[in-house]
């Protein structure tokens, strides 16, 4: 059941969280939070997304605030460190925020950078963390991906090396390194097309873009691949939904990408979840004294929520 718009707007606050360094081109992460009978929900689709796509993120936030978390089958979830596309000289500084991390995900294929930059960054991470995975966000052509994978050394997997399912399938046939699909699942009209095309070894899923915790669990039942639950650069509220989802999965064989709170200078709570021995535990987030957006940005988000609520009402 869709709650009335006024119930969302009455408790809505818009936060602006400064980043320690740019990630996905973002220096300040904005999000709208609202409170329901089960706790807090988050609405934070990236600003360039259209209302149809953004409305799925609103459905996820409403689920968290009105239904709460699904039952957990594990007490803790291993998470990876996340290394933005920084110079190799800054890698140690980034990893220091993820003490005890056993796995690191490294951003590669950044616009304006070269493969040499990626190689040096990955090598610097490998000096400090045993298991390394990389994420290209669809930034390579198939030939570029094959060449890059050959140069980057041993990797746990390569996430979304190319933009299309067909390219993923082609690259997978040409390399021995496992291929993970992210955008090809969460931004696809048919998330199962990756499976039908035999285009990936691992499925990366994100709660908000897919419409909520229970939707991810339903999808996981249909995807015969190992699942990695990752953050969409969420606040602590969204991270809690990701951890709850990972804790509810019947099988979980890989570290999840839910440690991105370390990339924020401030979060939405005084005691944001931080990995202990590279693990996060499911729990409730109490929003307290978050950095607020200015009135103009706050109104922009409230207007966006209103439009997306209308879309959900039509569905």
What does pTM read for this prediction?
0.95
Residues catalogued as catalytic:
107, 206
Write the pLDDT tens digit of every residue in 114-128: 999 999 999 999 999
- Provide the pLDDT for residue 1: 82
Q: Is 183 annotated as a binding residue?
A: no
Would you kindly state where each structural domain of the chain is located, as residue ranges? Answer: 5-68+291-313, 77-280
CATH superfamily assigned to domain 77-280: Enolase-like C-terminal domain (3.20.20.120)
Domain 5-68+291-313, classified CATH 3.30.390.10, yes or no: yes
Write the pLDDT tens digit of every residue in 256-287: 999 999 999 999 998 888 888 899 999 999 99
Q: Is 135 annotated as a binding residue?
A: yes
Q: Is 159 annotated as a binding residue?
A: yes
Write the pLDDT tens digit of every residue in 233-250: 999 999 999 999 999 999
Write the pLDDT tens digit of every residue in 17-59: 999 988 888 899 999 999 999 999 999 999 999 999 999 999 9
Query: For residue 188, is pLDDT > 80?
Result: no
Write the pLDDT tens digit of every residue in 147-171: 999 999 999 999 999 999 999 999 9
3-state secondary structure the chain: CCCCHHHHHHHCEEEEEEEEEEECCEEEEEEEEEEECCEEEEECCCCCCCHHHHHHHHHHHHHHHHCCCCCCCCCCEEECEEECCCCHHHHHHHHCCCCCCCEEEEECCCCCCCHHHHHHHHHHHHCCCCEEEEECCCCCCHHHHHHHHHHCCCCCCEECCCCCHHHHHHHHHHCCCCEEECHHHHCCCCCCHHHHCCCCCEEEEEHHHHCCHHHHHHHHHHCCCCEEEECCCCCHHHHHHHHHHHHHCCCCCCCEECCHHHHECCCCCCCCCCCECCEECCCCCCCCCCCECCHHHHHHHHHHHHHHHHHHHHC
């Amino acid at each position: 059941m869709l709650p009335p718009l006024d119930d969302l707007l009455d408790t809505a606050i818009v936060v602006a969280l400064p980043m320690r360094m740019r990630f996905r081109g973002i220096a300040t992460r904005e999000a709208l939070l609202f409170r329901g009978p089960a706790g807090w929900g988050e609405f934070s689709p990236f600003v360039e997304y259209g209302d149809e796509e953004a409305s799925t993120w609103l459905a996820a936030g409403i689920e968290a605030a009105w239904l709460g978390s699904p039952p957990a089958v594990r007490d803790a979830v291993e998470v990876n460190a996340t290394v933005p596309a920084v110079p190799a000289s800054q890698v140690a500084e980034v990893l220091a925020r993820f003490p005890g991390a056993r796995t690191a995900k490294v951003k590669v294929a950044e616009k304006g950078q070269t493969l040499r930059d990626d190689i040096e960054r990955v090598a610097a991470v490998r000096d400090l963390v045993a298991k390394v995975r990389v994420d290209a966000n669809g930034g390579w052509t198939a030939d570029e991906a094959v060449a890059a994978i050959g140069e980057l050394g041993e990797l746990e997997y390569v996430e979304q090396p190319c933009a299309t399912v067909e390219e993923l399938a082609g690259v997978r046939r040409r390399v021995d390194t496992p291929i993970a699909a992210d955008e090809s699942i969460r931004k696809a009209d048919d998330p199962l097309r990756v499976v039908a095309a035999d285009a990936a070894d691992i499925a990366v899923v994100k709660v908000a873009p897919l419409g909520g915790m229970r939707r991810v669990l339903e999808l996981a039942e249909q995807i015969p691949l190992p699942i990695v639950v990752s953050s969409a650069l969420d606040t602590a509220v969204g991270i809690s939904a990701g951890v709850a989802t990972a804790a509810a999965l019947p099988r979980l064989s890989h570290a999840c990408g839910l440690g991105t709170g370390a990339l924020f200078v401030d979060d939405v709570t005084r005691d944001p979840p931080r990995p202990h021995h590279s693990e996060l535990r499911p729990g409730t987030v109490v929003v307290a004294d978050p950095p607020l957006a200015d009135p103009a940005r706050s109104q922009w988000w409230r207007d966006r929520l209103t439009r997306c609520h209308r879309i959900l009402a039509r569905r």
